[in-house]
Structure 1
Amino acid sequence: MTTNDSPSAYGGELLSTATRALMHRVAVEQARGRTPSLIGGVVRDGELVWSGSRSMIEGHAPDTDTQYRIGSLTKSFVAVLVMRLRDEGRLALTDPLERHLPGTRVGEVTIGQLLAHTSGIASETPGPWWERTPGDVRPELADVLGAAPVKHPAGRRHHYSNPGFALLGAVVARLRGVPWGDALQQEVLDPLGMGRTGLLPRPPAAGGFAVHPWADVMVPEAVQRTGVMAPAGELWSTVDDLARWAAFLAGGHDGVLDEATVAHMREPAAPPEASTPGAGYGLGIQILRHHGRTLAGHTGSMPGFLAAVWVSVEDRLGAVALANSTSGPAVGGLAADLLTITADAEPAFPAPWRPADSLDAALLDLAGAWYWGTHPFGLLVLASGDVELRPLSGQGRGTRFHVEHDGTWTGRDGYYAGETLRAVRRDDGTLSHLDVGSFVFTRTPYDPQAPVPGGFPGWS
C-alpha cells in the first residue's frame, strides 16, 4: 500500500470502517425515529462521497435523486438572493424595509434584522396554521402579519420569524421585477446545477406522512402550496442537489456569491438564546456547535417532511439528511453526526506548506516579536501577504489580518475583527510601531520612543 502526501489523498470514497458507521447511524435513526424513509449523505471537498438510506419497505429505499420537501432550508436560498442584491448595491443590510417594500406596518425593521431573525416580528402568521393551509387563504402580505406583528423591540433578541422571510421574498420580487422563485432559478439553482430543486415536486418524489405517536400506523400528509409564505419553506430538493448546496455554503461560487459574502452569512448575527446553548444564527444561516465543531447550514420541516444540511469549513465536510415524516427522526442531529463520524474517522489533510514566491522587504520588516505594553506578541507574515498577530504567552487578543490595497490590514477574526492594522514609520522611513485600532505595539516593552499612552517615565 502506498501513500500520497498531497491534498488529493483526502478525496475519493470513504474507508469501509467509516461507511459502516455512517450506515449504522442512518439505520438507527430510521428505526428509532419511526419514519417511512430516511436518506443521508456526506460531502467532502465539494463532492458527494457517501450516501445511505433506509425505508420501511426492504429493497425500496430512496436514492440521491429522490425529492423531499426541505422546509426552512428555503430561507437560506432566499437569503442568498438578498445578499446578491446587497453585493450589487441594490440594497444595504441596514436599510429599513419600508425603503424597498412600502406599506407593511413593520417598515422600520431592517433587511439585516429580517435575515437574522432579530426584527422582533411574530414567529408565525395569525389565524390558520400557514403550513397546513392553502396559500390562497393569505393572498396579500398584510395577511401574514396580522394586527400586532411586533412581539419584541427590533435588534434586541433572536426571535425566529417565518413571516419575516415572506417579506424578504417580496423584497426580492419587487427589486428583480419577477417572482422570487424565478429569480432563484435563474440566479442560484441553474448556476449551481441544482436541476432537481424547485417549488414543486417532480418524480421521483417521496410522499409525506404523519406517524401516530403511540401506535405503529401512519397517514399521508396533504401537501399545500403556501402562497406568499413560500419563501419561508416551499422548496423541494434531493441529496444530490443539496450536496451542491453544501459545497456552496462552504466556499461560495463564482457568479452566485463569492466566498467572502458566504463567510459573512455564516458569522453570528443574532444573540444566542439561553434556551438553546450551542446554537446561533447568521444571515439566513443557522450555526451549531456539535462535538467541538462549528457547523453552518439549516434545518427544515413541513408537514410530512424533515431536512437538514450542515457544513464544517475547517473539516472541508458537509452532510445532508432527509426524511418523509412530520416528526420523529432528529435529522438535524443525524446530519451533524454523519459529518462528525466522517471527520473523526478520516480527518482532513492540511494543505501543504509552501513558501511565498516573493515578499516585499518592507513586509518582512514587520515579522517577529512585538509588545503591547509588556505583553509579548509574534507577527507572522504569510505567503498570501496576510499577517497573523498572536500572543506568545498567556491570554491575549490574536487576529489574522487581510492585506488591503492601501497597504493596511483588516482583522478577520478575534477581538480585532474589522479593525485596521497600520505600520507606522518615522520620518526617516524606519519602523516605529504598529497601530491596531489605536492600540500601540512596539518592538520593546513600552518603547520610550514610541507613542505609548500609559507608559512608564524613564522605562528602558
Structure 2
Amino acid sequence: MTDVDAALATLFSDWAPDEPGGVAAVLHGDRVVARRAFGLASLEHAIPNTLSGRFHIASVTKTFVGAALAMLAHQGRLDLDADARAIIPELAVPGPITLRRLAGMTAGLRDAMEMMKLRGVWYRYPRSEADLTALALAQTEPSYPAGERYVYTNIQFNLCALAIARTVGKPFSAAVDELIFTPLGMTRTLIRDDPETMTDGLANPYIKDAGGWRRGAWAFGVSGAGGLVSDLDDLIRWNLALRDGSVNGVPIVAMTERGTLADGTPTNYGLGLGIRTWRGLTVWVHGGSLPGYKANFARVPERDLGFVLLSNREDADPYARLRRLLELTLGESVPAPPVPDTGLDAATLKALDGTFVDANSGEPLTLTRTESGLTGDKLGFALSLAPQGKGVFRDGWANADTIVRVESGPRLHVDFGGQRGVYLPANPPTLTDADRAAYAGRYVCPALATEHTVFERDGGLVVRFGPAYHEEAELPLAPLAADTFHGKTGRPGWVSQHVLRFTRAGGVVAGYRISSDRLKDIAFVRVV
C-alpha cells in the first residue's frame, strides 16, 4: 500500500479547518495504520473535532443489528428463516415474512418514516420509535410482496431491534450492550433516540446551505435503524471484530452472506451489511446518513483493510470517499479495468440525456451523460451507471444493484434491485384550467389515518400532506404523463420526491396512489 496517512490527508484536503469535518481511521491487519481528525465539532464555539469525539453513526447501526441476529441465530435463540410473527405476532401484513428478509431489505414492508411524511410529519417533528413501529405494525398491505425486490427501508431494522429485545428479554439498547458492546469494550457507544438526550463529546451536525452552514435536525426515534452514537476507537474495535468474524467467540460471519430475492437473484446486502465489489475485490460496507451526520464503515477482506469515517457535515459523501481511499491506497496494485464501449450510436447516447418514465409504476428516471457513463436520479436515489458494453449500464455501488439496458427509441429496460420496468422518454401533457380543477379536492387514506388536499396555485397543482398546514408538507406537482405527476420538496439535508398516479371511475378522478423511493403505492380515495 501507499503512504496511508498521506492518503487520508489527500482524501480530506477539501475540508477547511474552520468548517465542520470529522474523524477517520484506516486499519491494515490488526493495526490502525492512520487516523486523523478534521475541522470543527462546534462552529458556534470553534471547538475542533478530536479523535475521541462522538458522532451519530446513523445507519451503520444496522451492522450491530445484523450481528446480533447472527449471534442469536447461532445460539439457537431465534430462527432467521421462520416467520417473524413467532416473535412479533402483531405484524398485520399477510404472508410469511422472515427475520432474514427483514434484515436483508427484501421484506416489502412500508417504510414508517415515509408514511410519517405522508401524514405531514417531517423528520424535525418528534416521533418516538414506538410511534414508528406502531404505524408499521398496523399496515395490512405491503409495498410489494416479500422477496420480490430489494428496497432499502428503515422500519425493517426497527422490527429487527424489537425481535432482538424480545428474544434477549431486555430493551434493545441493553440487549446489544450485552451481546456486543460490553464484550468488545465499546464504552462510548449508546442509543441516542431523541435530540434531547445529553451526550458528552457529541459533535454538532451541520448542513451547507446558501453558502453558509446551519444545524442539522432529526427528531424521529430510529432505534435499530440508525439510533447509535459512537466514536472512532469503538468503531475500530467493531471493525476488528468483523475481521475476526466473531464477538466473544460467537460467529457473526452470516452478516457477510448475500441475500437473495424469491426468484434466486442475489442482492448486494447481507444481514445489516452491504456487499459490494471494487475492481474485483469484495468490500463489506455500510454507510450512514442523518441530517448533518455522515458515516462509513468498511472492510476489504482480501487485502485485510479496514476503514472508518465519522463526519458532522452533510456533504461528506462517505461512499465516494471510500472508493477514493481505495484508489489512493490500492490503486497501483489493483489497476482499474478497461471501460467497455457503450455499444450505442451517437444519436442514441445523446437521447439518453433527459427524463424517462415507467409506464407501470409512473416513476421517473432522469439520466445525464458523463465522460465515464451516466448519472441518474430515481426519486432522489442517486445512480452512477458505468457502461458494460452492448448498450448496458450498471451501478453496483448503490444500495440496490441497478442495471439499465438501452434499446433504440430510446427504450430503457431497468432492473433496480428487482424492481423491473420499461422506461420511455417523458412526454408531459399540458394541463388546462379544467384539468387542474378535475384533480383538486380532498383525499383520505384509512391505512395512514390521514388526508391530503390537492389544490391549484399559480397555474400549477400542489398536494398538501396531512390536515395541518406547514410549508414543508406541500408538494408541488409537475406532470409526467397522463394522470401521472412528480413532486420534490424539502430542504438541504433531506429532500423528498414522490410520484402520484391518479385513478378514474367513469372518467372522473377518484383517487391516487403515491410512491417514493422507499414506499410504494399507498392508496388515497377522493372524498370531495
Q: TM-score, normalised by structure 2?
A: 0.55
Q: Which moved more, 1:201-210 or 1:70-79?
A: 201-210
In the other structure, the counterpart of 2:90 is: 103
SS at match of 1:280: coil
Q: Matches of 1:197 and 1:316 in 2, distance apart?
A: 25
Q: Matches of 1:49 and 1:190 in 2, distance apart?
A: 25
Residue of 28, 44, 59 corresponding to 1:44: 28
Name the aligned partner's letter for residue 240 of structure 1: D
In the other structure, the counterpart of 1:285 is: 273
In the other structure, the counterpart of 2:187 is: 195
Unpaired segments ≥5 residues, structure 1:
1-13, 273-277, 348-460
Indicate the structure (1 or 2) with the bigger Cα radius of gyration.
1
Q: Matches of 2:149 and 2:189 in 1, distance apart?
A: 33
In the other structure, the counterpart of 1:76 is: 63
Number of residue pairs the alignment of both structures matches:
318
SS at match of 2:51: coil
Equivalent residues in 2 for 1:139-154, closer than 5 Å? 139=131, 141-145=133-137, 147=139, 149-154=141-146
Q: Matches of 1:65 and 1:298 in 2, distance apart?
A: 21
Relative to structure 1, the CA distance from residue 43 to residue 163 in structure 2 (aligned partners, 3 Å threshold; closer, same or farther) is same
> Is 1:183 the equivalent of 2:175?
yes
In the other structure, the counterpart of 2:407 is: none
In the other structure, the counterpart of 2:420 is: none
Contact 1:320 1:335 in 2 (8 A): no
Residue of 257, 261, 269 corresponding to 1:267: 257
Relative to structure 1, the CA distance from residue 137 to residue 204 in structure 2 (aligned partners, 3 Å threshold; closer, same or farther) is closer
Deviation at 1:255, TM superposition (A): 1.7
> Is 1:224 the equivalent of 2:219?
yes
| % identical aligned pairs | 27
Contact 1:321 1:334 in 2 (8 A): no
In the other structure, the counterpart of 1:456 is: none
Q: Which has a greater percent of strand?
A: 2
Residue of 185, 203, 225 corresponding to 1:206: 203
Alignment root-mean-square deviation, CA: 3.0
Name the aligned partner's letter for residue 92 of structure 1: D
Name the aligned partner's letter for residue 314 of structure 1: E
Q: Matches of 1:69 and 1:285 in 2, distance apart?
A: 18
Relative to structure 1, the CA distance from residue 342 to residue 80 in structure 2 (aligned partners, 3 Å threshold; closer, same or farther) is same
Contact 1:18 1:345 in 2 (8 A): no
> Is 1:295 the equivalent of 2:295?
no
Runs of 4+ in structure 1 over 6 Å off: none
Contact 2:207 2:216 in 1 (8 A): yes
> Is 1:127 the equivalent of 2:116?
yes
In the other structure, the counterpart of 2:246 is: 253
Contact 2:112 2:133 in 1 (8 A): no
Deviation at 1:59, TM superposition (A): 9.2
Deviation at 1:177, TM superposition (A): 1.1
Relative to structure 1, the CA distance from residue 35 to residue 305 in structure 2 (aligned partners, 3 Å threshold; closer, same or farther) is farther
Relative to structure 1, the CA distance from residue 307 to residue 279 in structure 2 (aligned partners, 3 Å threshold; closer, same or farther) is farther
SS at match of 2:272: coil
Q: Matches of 2:28 and 2:129 in 1, distance apart?
A: 43
> Is 1:26 the equivalent of 2:12?
yes
Unpaired segments ≥5 residues, structure 2:
193-197, 335-528
**Residues 92-145 of structure 1 deviation map (CA, whole Å, 9 limit, x = unaligned):** 121101111112113620111011011111244322457433233854732235
In the other structure, the counterpart of 1:385 is: none
Contact 2:90 2:137 in 1 (8 A): no
**Residues 267-288 of structure 1 deviation map (CA, whole Å, 9 limit, x = unaligned):** 211459xxxxx98111111112
Contact 2:5 2:33 in 1 (8 A): no
Name the aligned partner's letter for residue 146 of structure 2: A
Deviation at 1:238, TM superposition (A): 1.3
Q: TM-score, normalised by structure 1?
A: 0.63
Q: Matches of 1:288 and 1:217 in 2, distance apart?
A: 35
